[in-house]
C-alpha cells in the first residue's frame, strides 16, 4: 500500500492526467494512502475545456484548484502522448512532419512548462513539496542507441531540460522542494499498446507504486534529477 511518509500528515495531492493509465493508477494509490488528506484529479476527459497545450486553460485550472485546495504537497503530471492526432512515432527521418513534431513539443515539452509556471507557486514554501512529471527513458540523449521516434524523444528531452531549469529556480524560494522527471518503465496502457514488443511491461498500479516509492525517498538535494521507476538516476 502507498504510504507517502515523507509528506505531512493529511497531505494534499494533484494528479494531472488522472484519466490516463498511469495517472489513474497514481490517483487511486494516493486515494488509498491513509496519510493523504485530499487528491484532486485534473484531466482533459473529466474537466471540459482543460488542455495542456492551451495556457489559458492551465491558468484557469490552477486558479480554481488554488482556491479549493488547502496547499498541494504533491503535484504529479501524468499527461503525455506517443501518438497525436493519429500520427505515431517516426521510424526514420523521412517520416518527420513539422506539424506533427510541433504537436509533440506542445504536449510533451511546453505542456509541463505551463504546469510548472502555473502550479509550482502552489507548492509549500516551508515544508517538503514534490512536483513530478512523467518523461521517458527514450528522451535520454546519452542513452539513445537505437534512433527513431525523433519527435517524441526530442520533446521528452526538452521536457527534461525544462524541469531541471525550473527545479533550480524553485529551490530558491522552496528549498525543501523536489522537482523531478520520472521514467515509469514500460507500462500496460493505451499509450504503449502496439509498441511494447518484447519489453517486460508492468501494470499501471505496479508502476504507480514504484514511482510514488521513488518520490517518497528523494531528498531535496536531488531536485532537478531524472529518475527511473527503481530509483536509479537516468543519464541525460
Answer for which of 21, 129, 224, 225 binds ligand NAP (CB under 6 A) is 21
Cα Rg of the chain (Å, integer)? 17
Q: Does residue 234 touch ligand NAP according to CB under 6 A? A: no
* Cβ contact 10:37 at 8 Å: yes
Q: Does residue 112 touch ligand NAP according to CB under 6 A? A: no
Answer for which of 44, 118, 128, 153 binds ligand NAP (CB under 6 A) is 44
State how far the Cα of 158 lies from the Cα of 124, in Å rounded to an integer: 26
Cβ-proximal residue to ligand NAP, closest one: 80
Please choose, from the candidates 75, 66, 56, the residue with its C-alpha nearest in 3D space to the C-alpha of residue 16: 75
Answer for which of 72, 115, 123, 134 binds ligand NAP (CB under 6 A) is 134
Answer for which of 11, 15, 20, 65 binds ligand NAP (CB under 6 A) is 20
Identify residues 157-186 at the interface with ligand NAP (CB under 6 A).
Answer: 184, 186
Q: Does residue 55 touch ligand NAP according to CB under 6 A? A: no
Output DSSP code: residue 8: P
200: left (phi over 0), alpha (psi -120 to 50) or beta: beta
Per DSSP, the residues of 138-183 read GG-STT--S---HHHHHHHHHHHHHHHHHHHHHHHH-TTEEEEEEE
Measured from the CB atom, is 65 or 187 closer to ligand NAP?
A: 187
Catalog residues that contact ligand NAP under the rule CB under 6 A: 17, 19-23, 43-45, 51-53, 78-81, 107, 134, 136, 184, 186-187, 189-192
Amino acid at each position: 500500500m502507498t504510504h507517502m511518509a515523507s509528506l505531512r500528515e493529511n497531505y494534499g495531492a494533484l494528479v494531472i492526467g488522472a484519466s490516463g493509465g498511469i495517472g489513474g493508477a497514481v490517483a487511486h494509490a494516493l486515494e488509498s494512502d491513509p496519510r493523504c488528506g485530499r487528491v484532486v484529479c485534473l484531466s482533459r476527459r473529466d474537466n471540459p475545456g482543460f488542455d495542456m497545450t492551451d495556457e489559458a486553460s492551465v491558468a484557469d485550472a490552477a486558479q480554481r484548484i488554488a482556491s479549493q485546495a488547502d496547499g498541494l504537497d504533491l503535484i504529479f503530471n501524468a499527461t503525455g502522448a506517443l501518438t497525436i492526432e493519429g500520427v505515431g512515432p517516426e521510424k526514420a527521418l523521412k517520416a518527420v512532419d513539422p506539424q506533427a513534431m510541433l504537436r509533440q513539443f506542445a504536449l510533451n515539452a511546453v505542456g509541463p512548462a505551463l504546469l510548472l509556471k502555473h502550479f509550482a507557486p502552489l507548492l509549500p514554501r516551508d515544508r517538503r513539496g514534490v512536483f513530478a512529471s512523467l518523461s521517458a527513458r527514450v528522451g535520454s540523449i546519452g542513452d539513445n542507441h537505437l534512433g527513431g521516434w525523433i519527435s517524441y524523444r526530442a520533446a521528452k528531452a526538452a521536457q527534461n531540460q525544462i524541469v531541471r531549469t525550473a527545479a533550480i529556480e524553485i529551490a530558491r524560494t522552496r528549498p525543501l522542494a523536489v522537482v523531478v522527471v520520472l521514467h515509469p518503465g514500460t507500462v500496460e496502457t493505451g499509450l504503449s499498446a502496439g509498441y511494447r514488443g518484447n519489453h517486460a511491461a508492468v501494470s499501471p498500479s505496479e508502476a504507480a507504486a514504484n514511482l510514488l516509492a521513488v518520490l517518497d525517498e528523494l531528498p531535496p538535494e536531488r531536485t532537478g534529477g531524472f529518475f527511473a521507476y527503481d530509483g536509479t538516476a537516468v543519464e541525460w
